Structure 1
Amino acid sequence: MSWISNTVSSSIGRKIVMSVTGLFLCSFLVIHLIGNFQLFSADGGLAFNAYSHFMSTNPLIRVAEIILVAGFGFHIYESIMLTRRNQAARGGQSYVVDNIGQNSDWKSRNMGLLGSVILVFLIVHLYNFYYRFHYEPLPMDSAGNKNLYGVVMNSFQTWWYVLLYVLAQIALCYHLLHGFASGFQTLGLNHRKYTPVIKLVGYAFSIIVCAGFAAMPLYFFIFKS
């Protein structure tokens, strides 16, 4: 098993782990976004609260949560280790990841910074919604489910949280703009014919998903205040 350990701990091995976990997390973003669209329902949050109750009680979802947390953990850890190794190899210069183009651009040189912004947001976000939903007493809605919709509405009427949320989506968009295509390249899915298509899909995915998430706090802050 030593060859597995040596491979995973190598620079290319860490990039492969980051690519696999990163692409897995992209699938989570799509599922999470679709579920959160329940916030726009005109039923006063009943659909969103029912969705939140299902996600918190279904045993298959709970198993998926463990896998998801492991995916986040591996992705963050490998990102930190790869950043430190690249900085050491370059005498402390900024983090650089192989780019599809011939020259690196701003987002590829600052993946560590973008990831740090996302991590700070993630900690605040998990406390505000996941922790409060599971471990704090929340009022019930008319259907007998915890009223997480009320927590969302109150949070999205707080200017600094809305600002943090939107900035995090901008950082996530830049992170995905580079990471999506780079992940396929690292896994060897790099072809003169298909790479431009993958890059185009990555741009569309990054912009649509992040714009969808950013629309939620802006909607509540502008129209529900």
Structure 2
Amino acid sequence: MAKSALLKSSLAKKYWMALTGLFLCLFLVGHLAGNLQLLTPDNALNFNKYALFMTTNPAVKVLSYLTYASIIFHAIDGAMLTYQNAKARPVKYAKNNAAANSAWSSRNMGVLGTVILVFIVTHMITFWAPMHFDKNMPLQTQTITMNGQPSEYYLTTDGSYLPKQQVDQKVIYIKNRTEFYNAQANVKIKEGYKDLYKITVAFFKDAKYGLVYTLLYVLSMAVLAFHLHHGFASAFQSLGANNPKYNGLIKGFGKGFAIIVPLLFAIIPLYLHFILKA
């Protein structure tokens, strides 16, 4: 009876592991689509529009909370499965030639997942947290030359500009981090964009640690590639989608996904650090 309950519990964990893993694959595709805008020169405004949409749209917020929950559940479920499998494995199994029986990535999913979790937490502290909580996060500005005189302007969500000089002179003040208010009438007149583009570029171009950050990011994407290489096909197998007619297609698509998605993610910091002109 206890054995039957344990088996059911193990299967349930594998189902949830597969479902949350596949959902996070969809998240990766969406996140990548937005981040690829960083590869387009002079595209700061569009990237910041994307960042604003991702943090204010109600539907996206719901998906974001679902993503956070999936990451946590996937990590906890993975740790429990790793522990459960290690506990159930006979000691003599260690003497077998594991490399001949399974891929390296499949034997080290726990380690790979842990590295990815550390990366996600670091990534959120670096970019997600300032976007949501940093009261001093800069707003996007642009230098515009009029009558031969360059001046700095704040870009606003209605497509217009506000002279930064008016903010410096307290004619206009900033409230709630992005809202521009007329100081005399005390009424909201415009809203600006948080400059996530500026923060992202500065992070990877940092004179002291930019190269280190870039290489660690690329290394993390290599780890993600190994994790996806085994996890994608394994998820379908856990869900019962195990048919000789489709297995080759699923494995082939999974391998392509495991290479292309992390590779494109890795190209972004390499471009920002080595190619993009400051």
- SS of residue paired to 2:42: coil
Residues 40-51 of structure 1: matches in 2 within 5 Å? 40-51=39-50
Tell me the distance in 2 between the aligned counterparts of 1:187 and 1:203.
18
- SS of residue paired to 1:10: helix
Quick check: which has more Rg, 1 or 2? 2
Structure 1 residues 169-190: Cα deviation after superposition (integer angstroms, max 9, x where no partner): 0010000000000100111101
RMSD: 2.1
CA-CA distance at 1:41 after TM superposition: 2.4
Contact 1:140 1:147 (8 Å CA) reproduced? yes
**Which ranges of structure 2 fall in alignment gaps of 5 or more residues?**
94-99, 142-154, 156-191
Which deviates more, 202-211 or 136-145? 136-145
Residues 146-225 of structure 1: matches in 2 within 5 Å? 146-157=194-205, 158-224=210-276
CA-CA distance at 1:93 after TM superposition: 9.5
Residues 4-153 of structure 1: matches in 2 within 5 Å? 10-90=9-89, 103-136=101-134, 137-142=136-141, 143=155, 144-153=192-201
**Which ranges of structure 1 fall in alignment gaps of 5 or more residues?**
1-5, 95-101
CA-CA distance at 1:206 after TM superposition: 1.1
Contact 2:109 2:227 (8 Å CA) reproduced? yes
Structure with the larger strand share: 2
Contact 1:8 1:17 (8 Å CA) reproduced? no
Counterpart AA for 1:182: S
Q: 1:70 to 1:154 in 2, by over 3 A?
A: same
Tell me the distance in 2 between the aligned counterparts of 1:24 and 1:93.
37
Structure 1 stretches of 4+ with a deviation exceeding 4 A read: 6-9, 91-94
Structure with the larger helix share: 1
Tell me the distance in 2 between the aligned counterparts of 1:27 and 1:8.
29
CA-CA distance at 1:32 after TM superposition: 0.4
Q: 1:26 to 1:113 in 2, by over 3 A?
A: same
CA-CA distance at 1:42 after TM superposition: 2.4
Query: TM-score w.r.t. structure 1 length?
Result: 0.89
Contact 1:173 1:207 (8 Å CA) reproduced? yes
Contact 1:41 1:47 (8 Å CA) reproduced? no
Contact 1:129 1:148 (8 Å CA) reproduced? yes
- SS of residue paired to 1:194: helix
Counterpart AA for 1:120: V
Contact 2:37 2:43 (8 Å CA) reproduced? no
Q: 1:8 to 1:64 in 2, by over 3 A?
A: farther
Counterpart AA for 2:133: Y
Contact 1:141 1:147 (8 Å CA) reproduced? yes
Counterpart AA for 1:122: I
Tell me the distance in 1 between the aligned counterparts of 2:43 and 2:14.
44
Give the paired residue count.
214
Contact 1:7 1:13 (8 Å CA) reproduced? no
Sequence identity of aligned pairs in percent? 45
Query: TM-score w.r.t. structure 2 length?
Result: 0.73
